[in-house]
Amino acid sequence: MKTELSQDRRYLTENTPYLEYSDTEIKMLDIGEALLISEPKIRFAVPVKVLHYPAYLEHTVSTNYDLPSSETFSKADERLKQLRNASNEL
C-alpha cells in the first residue's frame, strides 16, 4: 500500500519481484489501494482497491433470504444454563 517515505519505497521496489520500476506507482496510490503481486501467476504489479468490508455492507442492497428469526443471545444463554445445570444434577 502507499508509503510516503522514499526509503521504504526504495526497499520495497528493490526487494520485491516485479516492482523494480514501481516507485512512482507506490507513491501515487490512494487510500485503500495497493499493488498486488502473486508469483508465479501474476508476473507484474496489479493495482487493486481494498474495500473496508463494514462500509461496503452499508452500501449494498440488503437481501431477504426468508430465514426464520433466531433466538436472542439472552434466551440462548438461559437455555445453555439450564442444560449445564441438568448435566450437573446427573
Average of pLDDT values for 46-65? 80
Can you give the pLDDT at residue 19?
77
> 71 falls in which pLDDT band (50, 70, 90)?
confident
Q: Using the predicted structure, report yes or no on whether residue 2 has a pLDDT greater than 70.
A: no
Peptide bond between residue 17 and the one before it cis (omega within 30 degrees of 0): no
Segment 25-30 mean pLDDT: 81
Q: Which pTM does this prediction carry?
A: 0.46
Residue type, 73: F
DSSP state of 48: E
Indicate whether 87 pLDDT > 80: yes
Cβ neighbours of residue 4 closer than 8 Å, sequence gap 6 or more: 27
**Which residues are 36's β-sheet partners?**
46
